[in-house]
Structure 1
C-alpha cells in the first residue's frame, strides 16, 4: 500500500524518537469501542457505494475468466528464498515502549499520520504483493500469484485461499474496489490519499471471486510497486460518511495481517496490546510461518526515554533502541550488560534514511527570501552536533533523498557551518546591523529572529540548544519551541511553524517528491479567488515553485528506471538550491539492546528494515528466559555480548 510518508517520531528509537504522552481523556473515552458508537446515528453507505461504482464504468469493471488474456505468464515467487528463521518459537508476550499515545486508530484522515501508526498498521497490514525484505524480488501477499500485461500497464492477481480479516470475515475482490471509494472520498479529510487514488490508477476489474486486475494510466518501471493495493473491508467502512473522522476515531480496523489491536487489553492512555490473530490465514505459508512469532506485543507509553531505559533495565521491556551514544556507551556500564543478561546488537541495514532535518516554511517572512534561507543553512552547525552529541557515530546527510541507491544524487553536499558565508547571505537580504546581543537587524529594525519548533524532550532539546548557540555566531537568533510530538506534527500539518526540526520515514524503491514539494500541497485558490494554505499535507516547507511542478509531474509519470533516476537527481538538485530543507544526519546501521531471551534470525534482521521490530522476525525463548532469571538470582555470568550483523554493510 502506498502510504503518505509518516513522521519518524523521535525516541532514538527512530534514531531519536522521544515524544511526550498524549493524555486527552475526553477524546480517548471511546477508545475501546470498535463497534457502532452511540454518539452517532445509524448510517449505511451501501447504496452510495454501488452508485459510485456504477457511475464510473470505465474504471470499475466486472468481467469473466474468459476475458483474461491467454498469454499471461503467472508468477508466484516460488524460487525466492524464504525469510525468517526456522528456529523461531511461537508464543509469549513481547514488551515494548512508545513515547506517545496515538490521537486516533484510523489509518487515514486527520492525525492518522502519527508516530504509532506503523506499529498497528504499516508494519502489520498486508497488501496484494510484498517486496522481499532481503532480496530485490516480489513475493505473495494477499495474492498467491500475479501476471503483468505486455504493455506493463495492467497487473493481474489471484487471491490466496481462505483469505480472511482478523474478525473472521472473508476478503472479497470487491473489498479492493472499496479501497477506491474510501481513499477518494472527501469525507476522510486526507488530501494525499484523495490525490494518489484519483490519479495513479486507470481501472480495476473483477474476473471471478479470486481474480482481479489493476490498470495504471501509463507503463511504470515496476508495475507491481504501483499497482499494489490494500483491501478495505466493506462491512467495516459501511458507515463511512460526512462524520468519518469522529465516527471512526477509535474504531479498530479489521486487518489481513497477523496482529490487531486487542480491545480487551487496551488501557486508555497507558498501553496498547496487539494480539496475534487466531487461525490467521497465512500462519503456515512460506514467508510467513517463521515470523510474527509472539502471541502478544504490549506497548506501554512512557514520556521519558531515561525512565523507559530504567524500566527496560528492570526487565519491564524486552528491547531498547540505543541510537544515542549515551545509551550505547554510558548507560550500558551496568551489571546486566557485564553478565550477559542484556546483549548489545549493531545491525547494518539498507533502507531509505529518515529525513531528519530542519524545514523552513517559505510562507512565513523572512523565510520567503532565498538569501535568508541560504544564510540559515550555513548557520546550522550539524557537524558539531555529530561530533559532540553523537560522538562521531553518525554522518552528515547530504540530501533528504538519501538511501535510494542509484536514485540518490551523489553530487549533492549539505552546506557546511560557515558563519562568514551565512552573514554574507543575510546581508544580501538586508540584515547588516548587529544589535547589542549580536543578532542582526535590517534597516527597519527587524531582528533576524525565528522560532524553531521541535520535540520537548531531553533527547532533542540539547541538540537544538547547541544549534541555537552556534547560530548566534552568524547573527541568527533561534527561539526553541518544544512541543509534545503529537502537538508538534499537528502544528506542522497546519503549516503554522516558521522553522521545524522533524523526520519523516521513506519507503523503497523510489523517492517521492510530490508529497513534500508540489505546489498543490502548499496552496489552493479559495472561493474568494485568494490563495489559501493547504493543511494536512507533507509540504512542510510550503514550496510552490512553477519550475518544480512540471518536473515533479513528469517524475510521477516516468516509465523507465533511467527516467526516474534522471528526474530524481534533477529534482534533488533544484530542491537543494532552494535551501528550504537543511539535512541533519544519517547512519548505515541501527543499534539496540535486548534481553538475551529475545532471539533474532541468523543475519540479525531484515535487510530492508528501519528498526529491529519492523519485520516481526524476532521471538521469545521461554526456556532462556527462565534460565536468565534463575542466573540473575544466583549471580551466574554468561559473559558480555556484543553482536555486529554486517552481512548487508555497504562497502
Structure 2
C-alpha cells in the first residue's frame, strides 16, 4: 500500500511540473491603492463605508449592570504580553485596543477602530494606517504613530506569538501626523489584517518598566474598561470607562454594554459549578453534555432565575486532545504515536463522560468546508503534496479517519492493533512491562492543569487501558505557574491541547506548526512539528488569491497534520451551552457565524433593566 501511495505522489509531481511549465501567465488585476474603511482576507469586506453597526449586535442594547463570570485556574500577573507568569486572559480584550476590529460574522474581515482608514496594494506588499484624531488612552493621552511603532517592536521582543509577523516586515515608518506604513519582506495577503489586530500600548506607560516581566500593574490601554480591583489569583474586576473614546463608533455600537465585569477564578471546575448554582456567578459555560441534560434541575433553574441557551456555530471544531511532544525520543516515532491513538477507546470514554452524545474532531478543521474530505486524497491534494513525498508518512494519501472501537472498555481490537505497531517498532512485553531492545520501559507522563476534571477523567480511563499493554502513564496535575513554565520549556511528554482554528486560517498557523518555532521557548508549536510540507503549505495558503485555491491548500495542510499523528483527538461541541441569569440578554436572532467565541461574551451581552 505504501509503495502505491509513493508512486501516486511521484506521478502527481511530474504532472504538476508539466502543467506549470505550460500554464499561461496572466497579470493580476490591480486593486485600488486608496484609503479604505476595512479589509478582507479574500474579496471585499461585507459592510459598506457608512455602516451603522456590526450585524451581530443589538444597537439598542441597554447599558449598565454587572456580570460575574467564572474562570478555571488562576493568575499571578496583569501583564498578558510576557511569557513569564500567567496573566488574566481578560486584560487584553477588555482594556487594550487594536488598529482594526474583527467582524466575527465574516470569515476574516476587519474594520477601522484606532485607525480610521487603511490602504494596501493588490499584491499586499505593504499596509498603511491613519489613526483617528480622537483616539485616546485611558489617561487621556492621544494614540500616536510612535505608540504603534513602539508596540510593534516591543511586543515582538516580549512574546514569541508576535515574532512571526515582525519578521515579515522589512520596515515601518511614519508617513504623516497620524499615519504610518509597514513595508513587507514579501507579498502577504493576511499581514495587513494581522498588523491591524496587534495590541497598541502606550510607549510612555512602559518607560522604566520591562514588558517581558510579569507584574501586578495593568497596562495602560485605550479600551472600554479599566482594571478596578484585583485579588491576586482569585478575582479581578473591570469597570466601564465613562470617557471611553470609541463608544459612539459604528464598529463598537451595541457592544461593551455592562458597567462592571468581575471574573472569579477556581482551581476546580466542580467548585465553579457549585458557585454558579448558589448564585455567586451569573453565567456558566457547560462542557459536560451529560450534565447539561440531567444536572440542571436545581432551584435557580426551576424557579426561572437561570435559563439554558445553546449557541450554534459554523466555525471549525475546537481541537481538544492529548498532544505528543515529538521532541522526546519516545514520541519521535510516528508508529508509537499511532499505537497510542489505536489504544484510545474514544467511544467508551465518550459514553462514560458525555453519555455518548459528543462528536469527535476528525481533523484540525473538522466541522467546516476547510477540513480534508473523508476517504483518500483528492487529485488536487495529491498535486500539492507531490514535492514532499519522501518526507511524509506513507499513508498520507489514504483514508486517515480515526480508528473506531466497539464501545467496550476492553477495546480488544484497538489494543491488538496498537501492540502490532509497538512490536514493529521494537517493543516487547517483558515481565508484564513493555520494553524496547535496550530494556527501557515504556513510561510517560501526562501533564494536565489543575481543575481540568473532564480531561483528567478521560486520561485516567485511558491509562487503565494502557496498563494492559504494559505501558505506564502517570497523570500529573500542576498549578498554573508550573504549567506555564513547563510548557514554555517543553518539559512534558504529553499534555492537553485546546486549539481553535478559524474559517480563515493564516499566519497563526506558522506559530502553531512552523519548523522555525518548534524549539523556541514559549512557542505555540506544542508538538514540536518540523515538516517541510507543513511549512510550504502554510506559505502557499498565505499567498492564495482565490477562495478555491485557499480551501484546497488548507485541506492539504489538514491532511498532512493528521497523517503526522501529533494529537489524540477528544470530543468537540458543535454548539456552546450557556446557563445564565435570566436578567442577561444577548442578540439571539443575529448570532455571529463564529458563535460563542471571541467577541461574543461579554462583548455583545447586556443586563435587562
TM-score (norm 1): 0.75
Structure 1 counterpart of 2:440: 446
Structure 1 counterpart of 2:114: 142
1:272 to 236, 254, 263: 236
Asked whether the 8 Å contact 2:201–2:219 carries over to 1, the reply is: no
Structure 2 counterpart of 1:410: 373
Q: Deviations over 1:148-178 (max 9, x none)?
A: 3244323333322411112221111221111
Cα distance in 1 for partners of 2:536, 2:302 equals 58
Structure 1 counterpart of 2:67: 94
Cα distance in 2 for partners of 1:604, 1:334 equals 30
Cα distance in 1 for partners of 2:370, 2:184 equals 22
1:208 to 152, 158, 176: 176
Structure 2 counterpart of 1:288: 252
CA gap of 1:197–1:221, structure 2 versus 1, over 3 A, is closer
TM superposition shift of 1:312: 1.6
Asked whether the 8 Å contact 1:400–1:583 carries over to 2, the reply is: no
Asked whether the 8 Å contact 2:62–2:608 carries over to 1, the reply is: yes
Asked whether the 8 Å contact 1:220–1:559 carries over to 2, the reply is: no
SS of alignment partner, residue 69 of structure 2: strand
Listed as ranges, the gaps of 5+ residues in structure 2 are 1-30, 39-47, 375-399, 406-413
Asked whether the 8 Å contact 1:220–1:226 carries over to 2, the reply is: no
Q: Deviations over 1:39-62 (max 9, x none)?
A: xxxxxxxxxxxxxxxxxxxxxxxx
Structure 2 counterpart of 1:198: 167
Residues 345-356 of structure 1 aligned to structure 2 (within 5 Å)? 345-356=309-320
CA gap of 1:552–1:157, structure 2 versus 1, over 3 A, is closer
Alignment RMSD, CA only? 2.8
TM superposition shift of 1:465: 0.8
TM superposition shift of 1:269: 2.9
Structure 1 counterpart of 2:130: 158
CA gap of 1:104–1:514, structure 2 versus 1, over 3 A, is same
Cα distance in 1 for partners of 2:323, 2:279 equals 38
Asked whether the 8 Å contact 2:358–2:573 carries over to 1, the reply is: yes
Structure 2 counterpart of 1:594: 580
The answer on 1:127 being equivalent to 2:104 is no
Cα distance in 2 for partners of 1:296, 1:455 equals 29
Structure 1 counterpart of 2:34: 72
SS of alignment partner, residue 329 of structure 2: coil
Cα distance in 2 for partners of 1:616, 1:427 equals 53
CA gap of 1:161–1:302, structure 2 versus 1, over 3 A, is same
Asked whether the 8 Å contact 2:151–2:200 carries over to 1, the reply is: yes
CA gap of 1:123–1:398, structure 2 versus 1, over 3 A, is farther
Structure 2 counterpart of 1:231: 200
Listed as ranges, the gaps of 5+ residues in structure 1 are 1-68, 524-533, 623-651
Count residues in correspondence: 530
TM superposition shift of 1:381: 1.8
Cα distance in 2 for partners of 1:535, 1:304 equals 28
Residues 133-532 of structure 1 aligned to structure 2 (within 5 Å)? 133-136=104-107, 137-185=109-157, 188=158, 190-199=159-168, 201-222=169-190, 224-228=192-196, 229-240=198-209, 244-246=211-213, 249-262=215-228, 265-402=229-366, 405-411=368-374, 412-417=400-405, 418-433=414-429, 435-436=431-432, 439-457=433-451, 458-511=453-506, 512-523=508-519
Asked whether the 8 Å contact 2:189–2:543 carries over to 1, the reply is: no
Asked whether the 8 Å contact 1:455–1:482 carries over to 2, the reply is: yes
CA gap of 1:206–1:543, structure 2 versus 1, over 3 A, is same
Q: Deviations over 1:398-442 (max 9, x none)?
A: 123445x44332345234452221111101111232543xx4333
CA gap of 1:323–1:191, structure 2 versus 1, over 3 A, is closer
- Which moved further from structure 2: 250-259 or 545-554? 545-554
Asked whether the 8 Å contact 2:84–2:212 carries over to 1, the reply is: no
Cα distance in 1 for partners of 2:262, 2:100 equals 28
The answer on 1:618 being equivalent to 2:605 is yes
Q: Deviations over 1:178-197 (max 9, x none)?
A: 12330343xx2x33423431
Q: Deviations over 1:571-601 (max 9, x none)?
A: 3322222222222222211001111111111
TM-score (norm 2): 0.80
TM superposition shift of 1:493: 1.9
SS of alignment partner, residue 588 of structure 2: coil
